Structure 1
Amino acid sequence: MDYSPVTSFRRPLRAADLAPKPKATVSPLRPAISKWDVLQELAVARVQFGLTDRDLTVLQAMLSFHKGTMLDLAAGELVVFPSNKTICHRLNGMPCSTMRRHLAKLVSAGLLIRRDSPNGKRYLRTRGAQRVAFGFDLSPLVTRYVEICEAAEAARATEETIRTLRESVSLMRRDLAALADLGAELQPQAGLWDALSDQALLTARTLRRKLDIDALKALELELAAALKQAEFALSDAAETNEMSTSDDQNEQHQYSSKIDKSESRTTSDFEPTASSNIRHADRPDHRQREGKEARSAPQNPPPAISIDRVQELCSEMQDFANHPIRCWNELLHAAENVRPMMGLSEDVWRHAKSTMGAENAAVVLAVMLRDFQSYSSPGGYLRTLAQKAGQGAFDLSRLINIRQVRAA
């Protein structure tokens, strides 16, 4: 049949129906294509054509009514003419209204063309060599095959870009969370780390959704700025810790092979005699200087609790001791063993022992071990207690009383 109608059977004419349709021309490079290859590419590019998986299921059923695997325009018209009942049966009992809605979606997308007969029926009429079919024309799948393939490649490129961005954002979020935890341990007084930790948590929740490229790029920029801020703050903290270390760690042994003549004198020339020691001790200024030195020396009070009471309240420390804990030295040895397992650095532990005393620091570690899961930053907590002890504001009895209330 030479005439191609514009209207469909018992359907109103729309302005879109008057738009020029792509002509079915045979490509010299690809005269025939596989119908399953077209369906596979459409499955990848379905979003660009506004289709769903259900639409493609109906299209797959329509392709199954075409005999053969290849769609060849040179062989004649590619028109299939199954009835609605037959189509629904091939679609495993899909309701007819649902099937017709999906067919209308495929027609509006330009992937199928209706070839309606004068009475709206679908059939094939042959008269000698002449063959006229009324139904659905599959020729747009051939004429638009290049367009479909390009859309599928663009969809694959977009999916790859999204996958790469999601991986990058996920790794940046993990690094930000780790830096926030480290910063909270090194500088617990700074409020920056809580904000960075919250940002990492919110980013993890955001990644649960299906994000587009623009949203992922915005997240990547935000995380990059946050990582730069965290690294800058940690570098300042490292420099501060280096400057605050004691001079004893920087001392070096100086040895000279040259012998000074002034040093060749006997040590007896420099050692004071007993009588001179007595005279110096009797001097008032000497007694006053000794009293000042004694008052300026740090005094660490003994623990305000017995070793047996520590064992009763914090029996977990016994698991890390080589022998039963019966004295303060054995408790201190057990604290030295458990300290690395609790994630406490050597500097924090040394500072705690110097400010509050070794025995008191061991008792604090035993109390922390008892409720270790409740401390978000054990190192920061111990550093804060050590600072209070250095200022004279640390009270071990109050800590023990709180522990007794919790145990009760």
Structure 2
Amino acid sequence: MAFTQTSASAGARPGALLSADNSHPERHIIVDTLRQAAPLMGLKAPVIATLDAMLSCLPPKRQHNTVFASNATLAFRRNGISDRTIRRHAAILQDLGLLVRRDSSNRKRFTRHSAADGTALRFGFDLTPLFRRFPELAELAARAVRENDQIAYLKAKIRAAANNILNARSDDNNATSALRALRRNLSIEDCRTLLDGLDMVDMTIEQPGDMVVLGEEKMSASDGQNVRHHHNSNKEHIDMEERDEPKAHSTHQPVPPLSVMEILSACPQAAQFSPTPVKTMSDVVAHARTLAPMLGIDTRNYQDAQDRLGAERTALTVWAVMQFHEKIRKVGAYFRSITSGKNSADFVPELLVRRLSRARPLLT
């Protein structure tokens, strides 16, 4: 089974065929993307774990996407769950359109080749739909991340409003009920309904215009607020292997812009995951937004980077990080560090991409 490569280092090549090991994202990226998209798909963690076990049975170099492992093998890789559970999870995955079950007459999983015409019959769990739908799943994951961020914000707003009300009127039933409701899983609409039932008179919402940027910290413009110092206790743990990663520092000289062809040549891994040919910088930016949640870059970090670097240079950074993300222990922390954190002062995305382009012959 072959797949069409929609974009490659030499540009768009709609007729070129690649084997599955060259055109598919890595297993951990697929699983992480599914975990993020799970709330919007109705997918439970045990089912994702079973799919992960199936993915682990696929060889890295192959011309098909069929899992031939028996239920006993899958159960062993799932720490001893029952055959019945394996069958139930497979049925759920098939209903969601993530796999196709191809059964032989005796329910065994195997392949039969024809020497005459070079074709093959494969019986097992065919994961081709999962790989074909991966761009759609990445979009769902990005949407789920955005919704989770919005829900977290609304919950914080509800909690603050309810506490303000209870400080003034300790017997307010609406505020008490709202705080109790926060223990449940709430949708965006549920949160907005709760907010509509609360008195927001005493709530002060800080607007972006009220903030001034000093270095890397955002502080309110009011002298009356004691927010002049904020200590971040969450340390950024970056893998020591980052010392081997390409670095990009300012040279105090203008950096010429990159063409789309240069970006595709320097960052082929990112290009391979695009469902359509990447021809313009708008395509580069749009694809970077899809790649970001796959790599563990949340919405806030992406927005902070975009505020500092702009949309195109932020997209360049995502494409570059995708090229060497295996060397990074925490991609989200690394991305924040170079785009808006302590290592961002001299960071130049164009230089990073050009250095990756020069390193390509060595990497291959």
TM-score category (smaller protein): 0.3 to 0.5
When Rg is computed on C-alpha atoms for both structures, the one with the higher figure is: 1
TM-score by length of 1: 0.42
Q: Which has the higher helix share?
A: 1
